[in-house]
Structure 1
């Protein structure tokens, strides 16, 4: 990711901070660490407000209420779903966003450079708040719909998301690995149309991923060169591929080397329309969006963020 641009803003104890807890994240991990996280942040904030979300929709409501009240920083304690909820409130506002990871994948937290564990991230949050370390992040926007920060996908990978979201075991990236193996049994290519400001592709495909940041699924670099500071999406399209090839591709996914295969097409675009007769459902930040067709656009610098050291 590109270096964050610094901004001249207040530091430390004069700032109002809101922490929204998504207690179900990480099979209850967020609820277990919420008190300790708050104890690390509260001493360096001028005002500190903590709230607990009952659901994903409630998390969005709490985040929006916090932003409307004029908080300087909104922190979401949870996984990528909680982070996605917070984005909907912070995008395009003066409120800075941060995520304290306590979920399954934590891809956005990793992309922003936060430590892997909740308590280490809370310490980093307190230090960044004291330093006054701020920056800007590009976001993706679904036309008529949600903002997203990491990857929007459809096809095989969205089916994997649906299966992974239904699974209760195991926790962490291995859940996605098992979901991938299970979905391979149902793999089939479908017609896909990809239209960008530069080109149009019509092909049979098994998946398409639109990356604002490189990773989804707990660290899988599906769009390995994506940069959330360049104003462009990186797209990865896997064309019609037999099941044996997809199995061969799996080890490469973890290293980002899948893009070297001839069955994989990559392109870059500021805006892209995805369609075709495929009945695919798109996921963004691991959250279900809508069926194709849809148009998504990169919005440079749409999110103000607190930057960890």
Structure 2
């Protein structure tokens, strides 16, 4: 990643948005052990608890409109994604609060966004968060067809993906929470692969030519990890002004399973059928309009193709613990 440029501190209240259901329901107790320390470190800190899907977006937007200068996301990647949504205009995808800061405490099960800085305990994250400087970073905006058939917009800080991963994420989210994140993703991945059929998709990056591919998996990444530790884009950086894009095409189930083991240490980019590139925008459309090609965004199944992914460069103030 590029050198961190220090940004001037902003004044205003700090609000923590806590997902009590993160960590399979353990995040609420974890937060209670940190609450007094956080209030000492962040005088005037107020905490709000999410009560339903997408509630974090509403809570974040309400706090920012009331003048909050820092929003701390306490939960998993999905919680951080929803909190980011509170910064972003739902029509344009632009950051409505460019001088406010999004801070992240990874208290979920997967924690893929946090992995770029190393896994650590929440108490250690708090120490690092207090010492961290706010920095300008990029984020992505996905425009796609929602599960209700209507056009949708959703920002993402880490990774969006298309194809077999969308089915995998659905299976993972429906699986037994007691299995643990890595085992859940491995089992969900194997189940998703067993039922997947490649689909013809038209892909275009930036203003380049349209290409027809036999899509197995498409990755549009701002961050490096997804799937509870899969190092899918080892060279990605959240402040380099471009997505890292990976296309897995024409791959059989047997080859895909064999390639899976290589993803955890980044060796998959050398496998035949895996192509890597960079872009600021990516468009994907199924050749056959009736084809259902699922999309996941920051670990959440959200809809299907056609879709367009756009990068908002240098558009968000971020602090990470």
| TM-score when normalising by structure 1 | 0.92
The reply to whether residue 63 of structure 1 matches residue 60 of structure 2 is yes
State the distance in 2 between where 1:54 and 1:239 align: 40
Indicate whether 1:152 and 2:157 are aligned. no
Matched residue SS, 1:185: helix
Query: Which residue in 2 is equivalent to 1:275?
Result: 285
1:119 Cα deviation from its structure 2 partner: 2.4
Q: Quickly say closer, same or farther: Cα 1:161–1:8, change in 2 above 3 A.
A: same
Cα deviations by residue, 1:246-294 (Å, 9 ceiling, x for unpaired)? 1210111111111101211112111111111331121110122221001
Q: Please, which moves more after superposition, 115-124 or 89-98?
A: 115-124
**1:117 corresponds to 2:124:** no
CA distance in 2, matches of 1:38, 1:160: 35
User: Cα distance, 1:34 vs. partner?
Assistant: 1.2
Out of 210, 224, 228, which is 2:238 matched to? 228
In 2, the alpha carbon distance for the partners of 1:119 and 1:272 equals 38
Q: Are positions 1:50 and 2:47 aligned together? A: yes
Deviation at 1:9, TM superposition (A): 1.9
State the partner residue of 1:17.
14
Residue 142 (structure 2) aligns with: 142
Cα shift readout 1:141-196 (whole Å, capped 9, x = no counterpart): 12350110111111111111111111123122221111111222113211111111
Matched, 1:127 2:135: no
In structure 2, the partner of 1:253 is 263
Q: CA RMSD in A?
A: 1.7
- Rounded Cα–Cα distance in structure 2 between residues aligned with 1:125 and 1:36: 17
Matched with 2:71 is 74
Aligned residue in 2 for 1:107: 112
Count of matched residue pairs? 300
Q: Deviations over 1:50-84 (max 9, x none)?
A: 11110122111111111111112100111011100
What is residue 199 of structure 2 aligned with on the other side?
190
8 Å Cα contact 1:33-1:119 kept in structure 2: no
For residues 78 and 47 of structure 2, the distance between their equivalents in structure 1, rounded to whole angstroms, comes to 18
Q: Is the 8 A contact 2:105 2:126 kept in 1?
A: yes
Secondary structure at the counterpart of residue 76 of structure 1: strand
Is 2:299 the partner of 1:286? yes
Aligned counterparts, 1:22-33, within 5 A: 22-33=19-30
2:276 match: secondary structure: strand
1:207 aligns with 2:217: yes
- Change in 2 beyond 3 A, CA 1:5/1:127: closer
Q: Which residue of 2 aligns with 1:175?
A: 184
Q: Is the 8 A contact 1:214 1:223 kept in 2?
A: yes
Instruction: Give the gaps of 5 or more residues in structure 2.
Output: 89-94, 144-151
CA contact (8 A) 2:104 2:320 kept: no
**Is 1:95–2:103 an aligned residue pair?**
no
Paired residue secondary structure (2:7): coil
Conserved? CA contact 1:152–1:285, under 8 Å: yes
The 8 Å contact of residues 22 and 55 in structure 1, kept in 2 or not, is answered as no
